[in-house]
Amino acid sequence: MVILVAGASHTGKTLLAQRMLEVFGYPYLSIDHLKMGLIRSGNTTLTPEDDEELTEYLWPIVREMVKTAIENKQNLIVEGCYIPPAWRKDFEEEYLRSIEFVCLGMSDAFIDAHFGEIRENACAIEARLNDAECTPDELKEDNRRYIDAFKEGGEKVTLIESDYEETIRTVLEELHPRNTSSITA
């Protein structure tokens, strides 16, 4: 099985992928790592700020990695904000049967109530570029854009409204109930 984890910045995609690794034992690929490897190696002139162009550049590579994992009957978690809302159109049914999809989003009320915690935990799993300029309004706008785009594409969006840990526990249980009986987020 391949699990794709999408969503806006700061929604906890990487933390969710880390939890999946711990609970399911599946390796995960951070699209951010791929991005930075390509940028630092000089294989692209794009920069970390070129989000739309990076999606167009990275997704074809990630898409083919997903297909390869499925063809080899390997489990893989792929997480990042560079998964396009219309990702399903890039896979035939034989591949789609082996893909689970999770899109995380945060409600405006959650962002308002937990902005300090969101910023504190921004580097919980990976070091981020300096995002000191990130404001609650920018975070809300980014979240709304992702939520709207994925919903318009017919995808379910898991909305974090009050308790991040409980939301993550629910996602894990929905994905793999047999392996999550002892989850403590």
Q: Is residue 184 part of a domain?
A: no
Residue 98 sits in a domain of what CATH number? 3.40.50.300
Q: Is residue 33 part of a domain?
A: yes
Q: What percentage of the chain has pLDDT greater than the value 70? A: 88
Q: Is residue 185 part of a domain?
A: no
Which sign does the torsion angle of CA 7, 9, 10, 12 carry? positive
Residue showing tokens 């609650």 = 136
Q: Is residue 154 part of a domain?
A: yes
- Residue 73 tokens read as 């009957």
Q: For residue 83, what are the domain limits? A: 2-179
Please tell me the total count of domains within the chain: 1
In this predicted model, what pLDDT tens digit does every residue of 13-55 receive, in sequence order? 989 999 999 999 999 999 999 999 999 999 999 998 898 999 9
Q: Is residue 120 part of a domain?
A: yes
Q: Is residue 20 part of a domain?
A: yes
Q: Is residue 133 part of a domain?
A: yes
In this predicted model, what pLDDT tens digit does every residue of 77-112 receive, in sequence order? 999 999 999 999 999 999 999 999 999 999 999 999
